[in-house]
Structure 1
Amino acid sequence: MSAIPFPAPPADSDAVVALRAEFRAFLAEQLKDRSPRQRSDNWYGYDRAFSRAMGQAGYLGMTWPKQYGGHERTAFERAVVVEECLAAGAPVGAHWIADRQSGPSIIKFGTEEQKQLILPRIAKGELSFGIGMSEPDSGSDLAATRTKAVRDGDVYRVTGTKVWTSFAHEADYVILFCRTSGTPADRHKGTSQLLVDLKNTPGLTIRPIIDLAGQHHFNEMHFEDAVVPASMLLGEEGQGWDQVMSELAFERSGPERFLSSIELLVQLIEVLKTRQSDAAQITVGRVTARLAVLRRLSRSVAGMLQNHQDAGLQASIVKDIGALFEQGLPDIARELIDCEPDPRAASAYASVLANIVHNAPSWSLRGGTREILRGIIARGLGTR
């Protein structure tokens, strides 16, 4: 069995400390009217105005080259901003995917024309992206993709269905993972990525998926001979698998993998302040210790990305144990406090608990199911 290294995360420099304080002040002003229930939506919150404010203040595209609207700051500085956003319950959905993974993928694989067209607008908070990966009946097995894109002169004609696409009904683009040659039996071979304009693609239909909480952020995307310009091919035809694996390292490693339920912990501690219970104090101490470990692991991955190291394996570990932490928190809360989750309750705790209970089941699916991630980890350990 092989050991999996997690390098020590970078130390907080004076610049990082100053950035955290500056950004907390920004969030305090921006979020002053946001309720605990709204804060518990975390990265499900979708607010174009907030994303534009982030862009105007220089908090999007932080690590990107200045020529594309970026700010050439470190991956660790960006991690500070992401962490503070999530901890404060900011509505980051309108820029989240674009800033986290779509933009970096375009920087790495895109043409100069694509970079100039898209990146500055993401950095300004003007463009929103979705993820066009998952398909019906294939779960996290991306290599089983059946969505097909056939080259026809200056366009690709796309046929197939994508599912669980967050905010496709609101977003401007998705990066579509599709098959440009062969069949699903070819697995990784013959796959490519296309930049798809969700507002201007003939043959594309977007249908809502309403989740357990009654919310609409998931969607199905149906492509019926949809026309996508060939100039929107991202990277090289047939290299889609390697590109999408690179993209997933950005998706799986961040603090959103353990801070989705943080508002529940905040409200739980607030309620427990008025109660004397040694058992509750011990439990909260243990939860806090787990949170501290997860935070250190995530910061380690941010350091690896800063040093241009392959963090795919470490990111899978953070995502897996982070989802366990997030999904377990509602059960811990319900053991400590006898309170029914109620989305209509005046109590901040009860309404936040209801929102987290409804949304938590999906957290071991997004970004890769637990089974897929553990297969990746097993290979990294040399046991598979």
Structure 2
Amino acid sequence: MIDLSFPTPPESQQAESFREQVRDFLATELAGRTPLQRVESWMGFDAGFSRRLGEQGWIGLTWPKQYGGSERSALERYVLLEELLAAGAPVAAHWIADRQSGPLLLRYGTEAQKQAILPRITRGECFFCIGMSEPDSGSDLAAARTYAEPVDDGFIVNGTKLWTTYGHKAHYMVLFCRTSRDHEDRHGGTSQLLIDLTLPGITIRPIHDLSGAHHFNEVVFENVQVPRDALIGEMGDGWNQVLSELAFERSGPDRFLSTLWVLIELIRALQGRDDDQSRIAVGRLAAHLMSLRRLSRSVAGMLQRGENPTLQAAIVKDLGALLEQDIPDIARQLVDTGRADAAHRDFFQVLHYAVQQVPAFSLRGGTREILRGIIARGLGLR
């Protein structure tokens, strides 16, 4: 029988005490940061902030101390992420390495890989990008064509990765690729490689988004020679490894807090208004936010217990993207955007930024269609 339950999130007084420490740190670090800067949190790249967070011991929070971690609980890590996003901290520099690439290496990496990479991540000195998406494949990860040909001393890699967030600032990529062409199963013959992005033959080209910002990239591999010890885990087990990695990517508070600052500024813009439409709309958004927080904290508890909540994470990500896209939409209905005034300048700036970003929210981490296919299969409906 399929277990689709979201267990009650465990209580942790230790985690709540930690919350106060994080808030005090952020109150000082982010003093003077504008609402527009805060709404960019998820995509805000600030290497200096990441280093200072590392000095606190707050990157790799749950990792073993032998690799630079602090051996705190998954619930404390959840509190940290929640507070960083709610405060609008610029987290993009260390985010991917902390969230999924580091945990992947902890689970599947060699001891040499762990010793070489993980302490640098925890210090906020080593940044990662994800080599999953490819041209003409959408979010169908099994359609990957990038090929790492096994040779005597390693691999020769050819192919292209697309929508690679902050690939131009990253030190390493975790590359999902094919290492065999002899499998009829689309998921077979895939592996993951740890790629040093300074290797010859790698070209990183910018992709500018709707606002003109440069977050995304096209990364092209042309006969790139990768050493044998770059293999992560087992040859041919890439599909199973990447599925476990995606559970970390899809379940966190980043999947429903991206437009929180639109809601905050909306409430400020509505001050003084006493009408049912505003109260009902804001109340409904708050209820959805609290429900998603409960589901996401439940997944954090499952991860704490060593479970693999792939299905639950997909549900959180899908519902979270819907809420993130609803908030700017509803804000535009409640406030006359044709009458921008100085009193509501912060609201309109934040809303303008969010409106340009929300189309990507149902793409990143897996498109809505892919996620719902995962959910349907998990429920035995496909």
TM-score using structure 2 length: 0.97
Equivalent in the alignment of 1:18: 17
1:345 to partner: Cα distance: 11
1:278 to partner: Cα distance: 2.3
Equivalent in the alignment of 1:249: 247
CA distances 1:108-144 after superposition (whole Å, capped 9, x unpaired): 0000000000000001111110010000111111111
RMSD over aligned Cα atoms:
1.6
Equivalent in the alignment of 1:91: 90
For residues 344-355 of structure 1, what are the structure 2 equivalents within 5 Å?
A: 347-355=345-353
1:154 to partner: Cα distance: 1.6
1:40 to partner: Cα distance: 0.6
Is the Cα–Cα contact under 8 Å of residues 144 and 185 in structure 1 kept in the other structure? no
Is the Cα–Cα contact under 8 Å of residues 341 and 354 in structure 1 kept in the other structure? no
For residues 219-230 of structure 1, what are the structure 2 equivalents within 5 Å?
A: 219-230=217-228
CA–CA separation in structure 2 for the residues paired with 1:379 and 1:220 = 31
Query: Are residues 70 and 257 of structure 1, via their aligned partners in 2, closer, same or farther at CA, if it must alter by over 3 Å?
Result: same
CA–CA separation in structure 2 for the residues paired with 1:31 and 1:122 = 22
Matching residue's letter, 2:272: T
Query: Are residues 32 and 190 of structure 1, via their aligned partners in 2, closer, same or farther at CA, if it must alter by over 3 Å?
Result: same
Residue number among 328, 332, 335 corresponding to 1:334 in the alignment? 332
1:274 to partner: Cα distance: 2.6
Query: Are residues 159 and 340 of structure 1, via their aligned partners in 2, closer, same or farther at CA, if it must alter by over 3 Å?
Result: farther
CA distances 1:142-188 after superposition (whole Å, capped 9, x unpaired): 11110000122223110000000000001111100000001685411
CA–CA separation in structure 1 for the residues paired with 2:96 and 2:343 = 32
CA distances 1:318-362 after superposition (whole Å, capped 9, x unpaired): 0000000001111100110001598x9981111100110000000
Equivalent in the alignment of 1:141: 140
Equivalent in the alignment of 2:115: 116
Equivalent in the alignment of 1:313: 311
Q: Which moved more, 1:2-11 or 1:163-172?
A: 2-11
Task: Give the 3-state SS of the residue equivalent to 1:160 in structure 2.
Answer: strand
Stretches of structure 1 lacking an aligned partner (at least 5 in a row): none
Equivalent in the alignment of 2:125: 126
Equivalent in the alignment of 1:8: 8
Equivalent in the alignment of 1:178: 177
CA–CA separation in structure 1 for the residues paired with 2:304 and 2:339 = 41
User: Are positions 1:78 and 2:83 aligned together?
Assistant: no
CA–CA separation in structure 2 for the residues paired with 1:113 and 1:152 = 21
After TM superposition, what 4+ stretches of structure 1 lie above 6 angstroms from structure 2?
none
Query: Are residues 354 and 183 of structure 1, via their aligned partners in 2, closer, same or farther at CA, if it must alter by over 3 Å?
Result: farther
CA–CA separation in structure 2 for the residues paired with 1:183 and 1:372 = 25
Stretches of structure 2 lacking an aligned partner (at least 5 in a row): none
Query: Are residues 345 and 179 of structure 1, via their aligned partners in 2, closer, same or farther at CA, if it must alter by over 3 Å?
Result: farther
Is the Cα–Cα contact under 8 Å of residues 201 and 223 in structure 2 kept in the other structure? yes
1:294 to partner: Cα distance: 0.2
CA–CA separation in structure 2 for the residues paired with 1:90 and 1:4 = 33
CA–CA separation in structure 1 for the residues paired with 2:339 and 2:375 = 35
Equivalent in the alignment of 1:188: 187
For residues 291-302 of structure 1, what are the structure 2 equivalents within 5 Å?
A: 291-302=289-300
Task: Give the 3-state SS of the residue equivalent to 2:366 in structure 1.
Answer: coil
Matching residue's letter, 1:265: L
1:33 to partner: Cα distance: 2.3
CA–CA separation in structure 1 for the residues paired with 2:344 and 2:256 = 27
CA–CA separation in structure 2 for the residues paired with 1:336 and 1:244 = 41
Is the Cα–Cα contact under 8 Å of residues 345 and 351 in structure 1 kept in the other structure? no
Equivalent in the alignment of 1:287: 285
Identity %: 60
Equivalent in the alignment of 1:217: 215
CA–CA separation in structure 1 for the residues paired with 2:25 and 2:17 = 12
> Aligned residue pairs: how many?
381
Is the Cα–Cα contact under 8 Å of residues 205 and 222 in structure 1 kept in the other structure? yes
Query: Are residues 296 and 116 of structure 1, via their aligned partners in 2, closer, same or farther at CA, if it must alter by over 3 Å?
Result: same
Matching residue's letter, 2:379: L
Is the Cα–Cα contact under 8 Å of residues 149 and 180 in structure 1 kept in the other structure? yes
1:312 to partner: Cα distance: 0.2
Query: Are residues 36 and 156 of structure 1, via their aligned partners in 2, closer, same or farther at CA, if it must alter by over 3 Å?
Result: same
Q: Which moved more, 1:371-380 or 1:157-166?
A: 371-380
Is the Cα–Cα contact under 8 Å of residues 165 and 216 in structure 2 kept in the other structure? yes
1:14 to partner: Cα distance: 2.3
Equivalent in the alignment of 1:238: 236
CA–CA separation in structure 1 for the residues paired with 2:182 and 2:50 = 39
